[in-house]
Amino acid sequence: MISPAKINLGLNILYKRQDGFHELKSIFLLIDWGDEIHFEDSENFIFQSEIDPDLPRKEDFESVSERGDISKNILYKTYLKAKTLQPNIKGVKITLKKRIPTGGGLGGGSSNAAQLIKYFFQSRFPLPFNDEFYAYCSNIGADVPFFLIGKSSMVGGIGEKLEIFELPQFSGILAIPPFGINTKDAFISLKKPLQETIVSNDWRYLSSDVKRPLLDGNLSKFHSLIANDFEPFATKLYPELSKLKKSMLEFGMDFVTMSGSGSSFYGLVTNENKIPNIMENLKRSFSEFRFVSFKTQ
């Protein structure tokens, strides 16, 4: 099965909370591209990984595979967490073909964890997927609840507050650089002040003048309405990302931005027939990058 990647449609970091996390607002979109993951019943936890031969930074995955320290593997952590909820879980054999890069802002680890949670608790040991369950799973990774819901959502809190937000389907191109960005460094760069955490359900941030173009799929207005707070840090650290964004727009993409804390960028188009030509130009101009066409789900 596909363990899908996500992209951020805007990402605003509001402040640093007293618990050390950051309060954020964003829209998360699933795309129809990601890792391949398969599960089988087993007496023990067994993890096997295969790296897409075309993917940059293959070495990133060695440290979390069975050839490295398995305790760092988010799937192993998820397995242990699942057993605290259901001690009857014996084991699982996981086969993962990795395509989503680390340090790319695409949520690959959280997506993998969510698929394992579904494997354990949707049929084998059914549990209600309610707010309490999502809060428990957010301890594995802040994006895990989103991948469990599996639908485009407005996101608040540290990622655990979700409201499904139905948008038109978009077509686009994902640009994966041959380098990643450390999430911790990206947050430090924002220098957001420590602030008392505001406990409130009123976290939705889309005014009508922003929501309407999104619902209409009016890509021409997106640049003036939404932004990613991490993008200035990423483009300063890696100036080639600024060149990439400029080229994606010049080649015909209608909206281009960075996903998450980087380093991946993506572009959306109104006319998907433009994608093959844009893809060809990008591959010729940025040979070290990998480009993937996608549709939002």
Catalytic residues: 6, 143
Query: In whole angstroms, what is the distance from residue 115 CA to residue 2 CA?
Result: 9
Query: In whole angstroms, what is the distance from residue 52 CA to residue 65 CA?
Result: 14
31 sits in which H/E element: strand 22-42
Picking from 174, 142, 189, the residue whose alpha carbon sits closest to that of residue 56 is 174
Query: In whole angstroms, what is the distance from residue 135 CA to residue 26 CA?
Result: 18
Count the neighbouring beta carbons within 10 Å of the beta carbon of residue 253.
23
The structure tokens listed for 16 are 């640093």
Query: In whole angstroms, what is the distance from residue 4 CA to residue 151 CA?
Result: 11
DSSP 276: H
Cis peptide before 189 (omega within 30 of 0): no
Residue length, the chain? 297
DSSP 40-52: EEESSEEEEEEE-
Residue type for 197, please?
T
